[in-house]
Chains A and B, each alone.
Chain A
């Protein structure tokens, strides 16, 4: 299978601290890849090196068959863990600016954003300053900014941290849509539940080293005899689905800017 991203022998140290050590990693095209591990495992450093934000001390990183370069940056959508927006900028200006620095002209960006603005109920807010938006709204804008240039690869660092439940669903839905289009997704998380539900393949990092790498099925088979099985669970509706149902049944619509003012 063709690789979207491949790392070989990648090492990165900060002073005496080794963040990533001789990492070998291949992300096949069209799959959803989970980078797992506790805080400090080296996930963010790995992702920053893939994005060419930090340079590795040694080893090579190839993305879509090339060494990382500026043109490639435009084909990747990146949502860092430390993320934010310009507070004083209008939503629409902000999104168009993020598109522009990914090499997308304003007209194309606006055309692409149209359907998203409607489906995310952001349309009434586009001329507001970002600081006037609720946290949840800002998260939607941030996510739109990540995908406005229609990337081939999406790299998300802890995408679900700090998200409200509606946005978690929104992004999960988006990711599965994205995957259907044959695009590659890499995301890091320390929440195993997300990894299990969303990923085709996972790699587990711990203390700068890769401990596990494979499809979820492969890894489960590998540990079947050594890890106790959970007790059988009575099937019950998921809280997430309940949440959606409750919102639907309420018959209420999303609040408008005027109502929230």
Chain B
């Protein structure tokens, strides 16, 4: 390779790597991601429904059942071993509850007299709430809830309502001569357990949930990286113009080499960031860490195809957009001036990022296939298709070839704009002027 180009790449890379912003973003982005995971785990473990709840059961039908239903071992803890892995993963963790029900002896006549004391207990927070089940509760289906606020404790109320509903159902069935055990058995839900239609399933199908999450994260990474590094390119181009060093540089190197060097250098910065994240991620897959995140069986490994597709499509997408950003920045003097034109690649990118749904839901549908061929959206869409359901190889090939052609075309166009633009100071150029540069730059 041209030694001057190497010098440009090296400078660009080292300068970026030495900035605080690089290291801050390198550690901040995964920290935020991890923080969110931990927050989720922590939230699922915190008590969402707790408190002492008094029950006035005027019907005399529900209290015992309620206590029994609440203390019944959950399905999760009893059936865990029997259940297939997949269903288990798809189930939401059971909500942590710590409720305490106690019976308030009362009759319809004595209740009004009792209310003052009960309300007091609620206001003094000796009890969380009390609940009144009238004689006709099984028919009218409404229980009175008395607490400090009618807005708070949404989950608690919902939990209690669910418990009561189940007990009431059993009672109603009992009235009609049905054994409550039959109800328990009858109400079991049917889960879908997805498998690949193959003699031997691929490893990845066993961790479908995890793999989808990984694909989502990678999709997001491609998207955000192109955004961030595109902005780096733009700022770098403007910086060289503002510093007035650019003319010194183009007296030594070809403008197109200067542009390429910048794009490749910053591309390496991106790969470095990914490498750091890869190392961090491999630490996180250690058993201790996995346990902390609530994955008792350890973190499953990511399929090779997903990683390969990620690297290839990140690089191709990055090069395409980087050239676009360089072209868009070159004619201008300040970020403000460039802003309205920078909106163009940014909007295309945002639109592309919203199309993940097509790849997710109907990976071989016409929309997903078309978008995974179109170069501005294909880096994101083709990656997603590959990780959801690998398309035929010819489609991947077409996508890559079209991207390479688009990169070549974009680099040619950007090179022409760049070549003229970097020497233009002062007045902000108009669009027709920029088109004239493209025609005349030789």
Physical interaction between A and B: yes
Tell me how many residue pairs across A and B have CB atoms closer than 8 Å. Answer: 65
A102 to B250, CA, bound (A): 11
A121 to B20, CA, bound (A): 30
Q: Is A9 an interface residue (CB 8 A)?
A: no
State which of B131-139, B239-247, B349-357 sits at the interface with chain A.
B239-247
CB–CB B245/A97 < 8 A = no
Chain B: which residue is nearest A100 at the CB level?
B7
A145 to B244, CA, bound (A): 14
Q: For residues 241 through 262 of chain B, which have their beta carbon under 8 Å from a beta carbon of chain A?
A: 242-245, 247-254
CB–CB B252/A83 < 8 A = no
State which of A35-43, A48-56, A169-177 sits at the interface with chain B.
A48-56
CB–CB A83/B247 < 8 A = yes
Q: Which of A51, A79, A82, A86 contacts B15 (CB 8 A)?
A: A86
CB–CB B423/A53 < 8 A = yes
A73 to B250, CA, bound (A): 10
CB–CB B244/A82 < 8 A = yes
Q: Is B384 an interface residue (CB 8 A)?
A: no
- By a CB distance below 8 angstroms, the chain A residues around B15 are 86, 88-89
Q: Is A136 an interface residue (CB 8 A)?
A: no
Interface string of B1-31 (1 = CB under 8 A from A): 0011001100100110001000000000000
Instruction: Report if A80-B436 is in contact (Cβ < 8 Å); known contacts: A101-B4, A103-B3.
Output: no
A88 to B20, CA, bound (A): 12
Q: Which 9 A-B pairs have the closest CB atoms?
A: A84-B244, A100-B7, A80-B247, A78-B251, A84-B243, A101-B252, A82-B244, A84-B245, A101-B4
- By a CB distance below 8 angstroms, the chain A residues around B442 are 55
Q: Is A87 an interface residue (CB 8 A)?
A: yes
Instruction: Report if A73-B247 is in contact (Cβ < 8 Å); known contacts: A101-B4, A103-B3.
Output: no
Chain A: which residue is nearest B6 at the CB level?
A100
A101 to B442, CA, bound (A): 22
Nearest chain B CB to A13's CB is how many angstroms away?
A: 10
Nearest chain A CB to B420's CB is how many angstroms away?
A: 9
A115 to B357, CA, bound (A): 65
- By a CB distance below 8 angstroms, the chain A residues around B240 are 86
Nearest chain A CB to B325's CB is how many angstroms away?
A: 20
Q: Which of B244, B249, B436 contacts A101 (CB 8 A)?
A: B249
CB–CB B243/A86 < 8 A = yes
A216 to B59, CA, bound (A): 120
A103 to B252, CA, bound (A): 9
How many residues on the B side are at the interface (Cβ–Cβ under 8 A)?
A: 26
A102 to B248, CA, bound (A): 11
Q: Is A228 an interface residue (CB 8 A)?
A: no
CB–CB B243/A87 < 8 A = yes
- By a CB distance below 8 angstroms, the chain B residues around A54 are 423
A92 to B298, CA, bound (A): 50
A84 to B249, CA, bound (A): 10
Nearest chain B CB to A249's CB is how many angstroms away?
A: 37
Chain B: which residue is nearest A97 at the CB level?
B11
Nearest chain B CB to A92's CB is how many angstroms away?
A: 13
Q: Is A60 an interface residue (CB 8 A)?
A: no
Chain B: which residue is nearest A82 at the CB level?
B244
CB–CB A53/B436 < 8 A = no
A-B contact pairs, 28 of them (CB 8 A): A15-B436, A48-B423, A51-B251, A53-B251, A53-B423, A55-B442, A73-B251, A73-B252, A78-B248, A78-B251, A80-B244, A80-B248, A82-B247, A82-B425, A83-B245, A84-B243, A84-B244, A85-B243, A86-B239, A86-B245, A88-B15, A89-B11, A93-B14, A98-B252, A101-B253, A103-B3, A103-B4, A145-B248
A88 to B251, CA, bound (A): 21
CB–CB A100/B251 < 8 A = no
User: Which residues on B are within 8 Å of A, measured CB to CB?
Assistant: 3-4, 7-8, 11, 14-15, 19, 239-240, 242-245, 247-254, 423, 425, 436, 442
Chain B: which residue is nearest A87 at the CB level?
B243
How many residues on the A side are at the interface (Cβ–Cβ under 8 A)?
A: 30
CB–CB B4/A80 < 8 A = no
Interface string of A8-22 (1 = CB under 8 A from B): 000000010000000
A102 to B239, CA, bound (A): 21
CB–CB A70/B254 < 8 A = yes
A52 to B218, CA, bound (A): 44
Q: Which of A48, A53, A82, A101 contacts B8 (CB 8 A)?
A: A101
- By a CB distance below 8 angstroms, the chain B residues around A74 are 252
- By a CB distance below 8 angstroms, the chain B residues around A100 are 3-4, 7
Interface string of A113-150 (1 = CB under 8 A from B): 00000000000000000000000000000000110000
- By a CB distance below 8 angstroms, the chain A residues around B8 are 101
Nearest chain B CB to A108's CB is how many angstroms away?
A: 13
A15 to B427, CA, bound (A): 15
Instruction: Report if A80-B243 is in contact (Cβ < 8 Å); known contacts: A55-B442, A101-B7.
Output: no
- By a CB distance below 8 angstroms, the chain A residues around B14 are 93
Chain B: which residue is nearest A102 at the CB level?
B252
- By a CB distance below 8 angstroms, the chain A residues around B251 are 51, 53, 73, 76, 78, 80
